[in-house]
Structure formats: C-alpha cells, structure tokens
Amino acid sequence: MRALLSIVLGGLLLAGCGQETSAPPAPAPSAVAERPQGPAVVGPILIAFSESGAGEINGGTPLNARSIAAVFPDATVDTALHEETAAQIITVRRPDGLVLDLHPGAEPKRVGKIIGRAGPVTGPLGEKLGADWASMGFEPAECRRGQDDMSHTLICYRPGEPLLGYVFDLPGFEGPDDQVPDLEVLEATARLSAFVWVPAQA
C-alpha cells in the first residue's frame, strides 16, 4: 500500500511541477499599444474669445516668445516692433490658419491686447469670422470706428461686455474716420474680420 501511495504522490508532484514551469500564453497585443504615440496636445485648438481673454491667453500672460510658444508649441511665434509706438508685438501663426496678434498693455511685460484675425477663432456664442452684419445682431449705436492701424474698421460691443470687440471690415466705405456707416451700408458690405480683447482697466 505504501508503495502505491508513493507512486500516486510522485505523479501528482510531477504534474504540479509541470504546470508551474509551463509559461502562460502571451496576451495578444492590443490595438491601442500598436498605435504610434504622438506628442501630447498642449494648448487649445479652437480659440474662443470672451470677456476673460482668448483661450489660455489673458492679461496675466507674460508677453514674451517663450511663454507664448509654451501655449502654442506647434506654432510659429514671431516678435516685431510696432512702427509707430515701438512696442513689442508677438504674432502667433499655426498650421491650421490661426493668426493671433498680442500687444502689450499698461504693463509692457504682460499681454494688453489680443487680436484674432484668422483661423479657428470664435466668439463666446460661437460667432465665426466672415459672418455678415445681419447675422451678428448689432445696432450701429453699439459700435465705433477703429483707431490707428484699425481705422478702416468698425468695432462693436455687446451690452455689458466692454472688453471684447467684434471687428468688421468696411470694404468700399470712404466716409470720415470717425463716422459709423448707415445701416444700409453695413448690411450690404460689413463682414466680421477679427476679434479684439483688452483687459479691464485697473
């Protein structure tokens, strides 16, 4: 009887050892693991203008190429001096067509004005560049003519939102620089060409 038990126990031990030494089948590679890993997306793709700023940029953003490039790592960031004011202006150009101009404000080292003039930029209600006058819902009394290098435009503001301007081009309009065109002219020609944001005055 002891000999029989020894044989049975020996067989069980050998079987256990065999199970321990056999490697489990390798799991099939997942589809996710096979995909090439691209760089992480930093910064917004769609730039939404609002009373708070433009995307991740506002009056607290340092106005230097390094800080702006950190927000838009896939963009070209150029620095130039304004011809008349000698102020430093940073222009962001992204492959998807985005163009932002960043101007200094009262504090030269901080962003003081943001102009979004091309690419995937929108207003707080989804307004898009190229929209006509009628679809934007402004009254001429809510608008004023632009100044300096924006003197050819009309800038309009929503009631209670003094920081975000909606810039309309006025093709063919030859009135004085301080004149708001008649409603008929605006409905016929005015198109939204940019958003302009400035921080609240301290």
Residue ranges and CATH numbers for the domains of the chain are: 47-197 (2.60.460.10)
What is the predicted pLDDT for the residue at 134? 96
What is the predicted pLDDT for the residue at 174? 86
What is the predicted pLDDT for the residue at 4? 39
Each as own residue / partner, the long-range contacts of residues 154-157 (CB below 8 Å, 24 or more positions apart, any chain) are: 154/180, 154/181, 154/186, 154/190, 155/196
Tell me which residues of the chain have a pLDDT lower than 50. 1-24, 27-44, 202
Q: What digits encode the pLDDT tens for the residues 152-189?
A: 999 999 999 999 999 999 998 988 888 999 999 999 99
Residues in CB range of 75: below 8 A, 6 or more apart: 69, 92, 93, 94, 95, 98
